[in-house]
Structure 1
Amino acid sequence: MKLKLIATSTAIALTSPSISAMELFKDDKSSLELGGFFGANYVMADGTDEVSNGNSRINFTFSHQLNNGWSAFAKAEWAVSLVSNNSDLVLNGDSNLAQGEASDTLSSRLGFVGMGHEKWGSVTLGKQWGSIYNVTGVTDNFYVFGGDGAGSFALGDGGYTGAGRAEQAIQYNNSFGNLNVSVQMQGTEEVVPLNELLPGIPDNDLELIYDNSYGVALTYALPFSLSVGVGYNEASVEMTGLNSLISEELDDTLTAVSVTYGTLGQQGLYAAVVATEAENHEFNEQGDMVAESTGVEAMVTYRFANDLEILGGYNSVSSDDGDDYEKAYMVAGVAYHFSDKFRIHSEYKLDESTNFDGTENDDDILAIGARFSF
């Protein structure tokens, strides 16, 4: 029987435009696969031209058949910098790395171990896609931009909050017919110095201390290639500063719903939209926490029979605190798939962002790149 990562990689399978793997070893009990892709982009923005990394990553998946229908598995994935990481251009939310990794050639993206059963589901421990990403990840599939509106990658890669690539997480996943269920808990205490993570913040000792968090997501497959999802994530956070003279305990919450049509990567139409509401989760351009915010991500792709693909979409996250802060942009792109392993692409980002005080903060960007999957 072929070994499976039962429900653990649901979010990845639903959202990655280039799922592929190379089998390195297989016998009647165990298997080892190599996966990932290498990519690079030539980026032009306001007179600044540079070659940037294309979210390159490499992973190994191990699996071993146990008794009574159970299997054990593990996965390790690293971000790989093909070019310098010291870039002033942040192209998308998922390109943000965790604290201390900005200059690393290799940095951890995922790393978990678990066991699963086709009937009883799977349990995993480690750094893994958060449960809510099963809902928010359906629009995070552009080749260059995206991932900024749904709140998945707050404060780096979403590891602190559990909404993105959750750190130190334990997760249960199972499927009941067309219903997929994911439940997650983080048992951690992470200290986040904001002046190291967020640009534009004054030089002080303001810190966030993230405590335990939990998340839940439900996705349901409907007829006619439709699916819907709903998810919730909550983390306890304490804000301290001025030598601990200021201290405030808050709940960081993210609620998301999504609707998806079609299958990503196949010929024909794929469309998805995500809407979110959040409290104490987002930060504006000054590095200030936004008490209440609303987010939207939308993505539409169409792949023709001749392997030409067109893409379009929208990302927005805005403050509901009575100010003008909004990070918003539209994306238009095209890609050509020479094969399932290699493609070239181009995307244009039309920025419509505004700052806290209402001033415009537009930064239009054109990117041309290539990706090799393995």
Structure 2
Amino acid sequence: MQNTTAVAVTAIALGLTSFTSSALEIYKDKENTLNVSGFFNILYVSGDGFDEMSDGASRVNFEFTRQLNDGWSAFAKAEWAVNTVNSNSNLTISGDGRLAPGAADDTISTRLGYVGFKHDTYGSFSFGKQWGTIYHITAPTDMLNAFGAEAAGSFNRGTDGGYTGVGRAEQAMQYNNSFGNLFVSAQMQATQNEVDISEEFLNSLPEAGIPGTPFVPKDISITYDNSYAVSAIYSLPMDIKIGLGYNVANIEVTSNENPALVDDVEDTMIAAHITYGSIGNYGLYAAVVASETENHEMDNTGEIIDANGLEAVVTYRFDNNIELLAAVNQLTADEQGNDYEMAYYVAGVGYYWSDNFKVFAEYKFDDTTYADGQSFEDANGVNNDVLAIGARYVF
């Protein structure tokens, strides 16, 4: 039997922590099972200069298991993001809970895909695109309905964290196991990906009309090499958990204007969390995630920076099924002469019509400061506050 720590971590990795998981059992025999789960999340988003319906990270996943001999079992999972609003929206909310430009060919896209084997005593081994080892540490604050998960480093440089293994790690080999109250995870990522930064952030400029902190693209390319990670979570009495994780990736930064200029550096991330309670349950849930990164994030000028991140979430679900929440995301440059700070605060209210259907509203109050000390509003002539109203159905 898995202990409670492993079960909690599994629930976080499924991305369904705000509700009671209710996977649909499609098929089962003596050796095989097939479950389907996911959620649909539709949002109305409104801010200074835009007003639109959007998909809020809707997804469908298929999970297969097969019993083997000697207590072992095999498993496989495939998860797809589904744009439920339309196929060519110019504004979407990505699977990482942030506003971003979308495209017609993004109607269905891969989020996860992996295969592995596990044993109740010896743990699990998995291979493919999966939640990163350090994401077990940052996941407890990645649970808002429309915003969040932008400060700790899980989805750095506007990606899903796949290149460096901190979010949905690509081409990753991972080991997970529990020993009493202690959950441990280790990961190696064997990858070679090159990203052209000037193209990646082209549509994030202020004139694109997309809310969020705009990046000024640099004419550089980043090549991501192998990465390695470890993490551990310990369950204390009174439903308190503490966790610590470390991730390091080798990256090569090349100037497209002068290919002879190459800089080999380590992209590192250390993260820690403390949590109380379980999200979605009645009563109090609180989580704080703190991180320290080097060569991992970018400021608004496109410079790669060292930074400190803080994410905190507090929710309370009352007996009448009304839930109140408050959250903060704060990413601060840790470099002399750089004033960059991505910061915002979220207040929200939700109503659980049932454990699997929820209506909600969240408001983001932005307080971002650019590298030169200007506020977002002063630099762009508009404020960056955003209202999101929506409904989520979990199956």
What is the TM-score of this pair, normalised by structure 2? Answer: 0.88
What is the CA distance between 1:12 and its match in structure 2? 1.8
> Is the Cα–Cα contact under 8 Å of residues 129 and 168 in structure 2 kept in the other structure?
yes
What is the CA distance between 1:90 and its match in structure 2? 5.5
Q: Residue 39 of structure 1: SS of its match in structure 2?
A: strand
1:63 equivalent to 2:77? Answer: no
1:26 equivalent to 2:28? Answer: yes
- Measure the CA separation in 2 of the matches of 1:358 and 1:276: 23
Residue 232 of structure 2: aligned partner: 218
Residue 140 of structure 2: aligned partner: 138
- Measure the CA separation in 2 of the matches of 1:44 and 1:96: 11
Cα offsets for 1:338-362 (capped at 9, x unmatched): 1122111100000010111111115
Q: Residue 354 of structure 2: SS of its match in structure 1?
A: coil
1:295 equivalent to 2:299? Answer: no
Cα offsets for 1:206-234 (capped at 9, x unmatched): 10000000111100000011000000001
> Is the Cα–Cα contact under 8 Å of residues 11 and 129 in structure 1 kept in the other structure?
no
Cα offsets for 1:14-60 (capped at 9, x unmatched): 87213331111111211000100111110110031101111100000
Whichever residue aligns with residue 371 of structure 1, its letter is R
> Is the Cα–Cα contact under 8 Å of residues 15 and 137 in structure 1 kept in the other structure?
no
Residue 116 of structure 2: aligned partner: 114
1:332 equivalent to 2:347? Answer: yes
Whichever residue aligns with residue 329 of structure 2, its letter is N
- Measure the CA separation in 1 of the matches of 2:34 and 2:366: 43
Out of 177, 181, 195, the position equivalent to 2:180 is 177
| Structure with the larger helix share | 2
Q: Residue 221 of structure 1: SS of its match in structure 2?
A: strand
Whichever residue aligns with residue 288 of structure 1, its letter is E
Cα offsets for 1:228-266 (capped at 9, x unmatched): 000000100000112512100010000001000001111
Structure 2: runs of 5+ lacking an equivalent: 206-214, 377-382
Instruction: Quote the RMSD (CA, aligned, Å).
Output: 2.3
Compared CA separation, residues 204 and 244, structure 1 to 2 (3 A): same
Q: Residue 152 of structure 2: SS of its match in structure 1?
A: coil
Residue 273 of structure 2: aligned partner: 258
Cα offsets for 1:129-180 (capped at 9, x unmatched): 0000111111110011100111000131000010000000000000000000
- Mapping 1:244-323, distance limit 5 Å: 244-290=259-305, 292-322=306-336, 323=338
- Measure the CA separation in 2 of the matches of 1:108 and 1:76: 8
Whichever residue aligns with residue 66 of structure 2, its letter is H
Out of 167, 188, 195, the position equivalent to 2:170 is 167
Compared CA separation, residues 344 and 14, structure 1 to 2 (3 A): closer
Compared CA separation, residues 143 and 319, structure 1 to 2 (3 A): same
What is the CA distance between 1:286 and its match in structure 2? 2.0
Residue 158 of structure 1: aligned partner: 161
1:367 equivalent to 2:381? Answer: no
> Is the Cα–Cα contact under 8 Å of residues 101 and 107 in structure 1 kept in the other structure?
no
Compared CA separation, residues 92 and 328, structure 1 to 2 (3 A): farther
- Measure the CA separation in 1 of the matches of 2:105 and 2:372: 33
What is the TM-score of this pair, normalised by structure 1? Answer: 0.93
Whichever residue aligns with residue 231 of structure 1, its letter is G
- Measure the CA separation in 1 of the matches of 2:218 and 2:17: 39
What is the CA distance between 1:11 and its match in structure 2? 3.8
Whichever residue aligns with residue 273 of structure 2, its letter is S
Q: Residue 9 of structure 1: SS of its match in structure 2?
A: helix
**Greater mean alpha carbon deviation, residues 171-180 or residues 152-161:** 152-161
- Measure the CA separation in 2 of the matches of 1:237 and 1:267: 44
**Greater mean alpha carbon deviation, residues 174-183 or residues 318-327:** 318-327
**Greater mean alpha carbon deviation, residues 77-86 or residues 41-50:** 77-86
**Greater mean alpha carbon deviation, residues 34-43 or residues 78-87:** 78-87
- Measure the CA separation in 1 of the matches of 2:292 and 2:115: 31
**Greater mean alpha carbon deviation, residues 198-207 or residues 277-286:** 198-207
- Measure the CA separation in 2 of the matches of 1:297 and 1:59: 27
- Measure the CA separation in 2 of the matches of 1:244 and 1:35: 46
What is the CA distance between 1:113 and its match in structure 2? 0.2
Count matched residues.
369
- Measure the CA separation in 1 of the matches of 2:259 and 2:168: 29
Whichever residue aligns with residue 279 of structure 2, its letter is L
> Is the Cα–Cα contact under 8 Å of residues 94 and 153 in structure 1 kept in the other structure?
no
> Is the Cα–Cα contact under 8 Å of residues 97 and 146 in structure 2 kept in the other structure?
no
Compared CA separation, residues 170 and 94, structure 1 to 2 (3 A): farther
Compared CA separation, residues 34 and 367, structure 1 to 2 (3 A): same
Out of 42, 45, 48, the position equivalent to 1:43 is 45
What is the CA distance between 1:103 and its match in structure 2? 3.8
Structure 1: runs of 5+ lacking an equivalent: none
> Is the Cα–Cα contact under 8 Å of residues 15 and 140 in structure 1 kept in the other structure?
no
- Measure the CA separation in 1 of the matches of 2:268 and 2:161: 13
Compared CA separation, residues 86 and 208, structure 1 to 2 (3 A): farther
